[in-house]
Amino acid sequence: MSFEVLEQLEAKIQTAVDTIALLQMEVEELKEEKVQLANQAEELRNSREELVQKTEQMQREHGQWQERIRNLLGKMDEVE
């Protein structure tokens, strides 16, 4: 092999090594991003669950108030 062919091979190998290193860094960044997104998703699920519970509580309270109002209106009808 000539010296020129070895230099070309070395350049190609160096390019491949550089590309692999960049891809490994990108993989690590993507892994970190995945963890962050998983954490955000968990926080959103928790927030959603809290909102669902608050909504259910408010619906129960709303129903109780409606019942009280019906009772009061019923008592008013009895008076008339």
Taking only the tens place, the pLDDT of each residue in 36-71 is 999 999 999 999 999 999 999 999 999 999 999 999
Lookup: tokens for 59: 């619906």
Amino acid type, 12:
K
> What 8-state DSSP symbol labels residue 49?
H
Lookup: tokens for 32: 């970190």
Amino acid type, 67:
E
Of 64, 66, 62, the C-alpha closest to 54 is 62
Q: Measure the CA–CA gap between 48 and 41, rounded to whole angstroms.
A: 10
Number of C-beta neighbours around residue 78 at 10 A = 7
Q: Output the pTM of the full model.
A: 0.63
- pLDDT surpassing 80 at residue 1: no
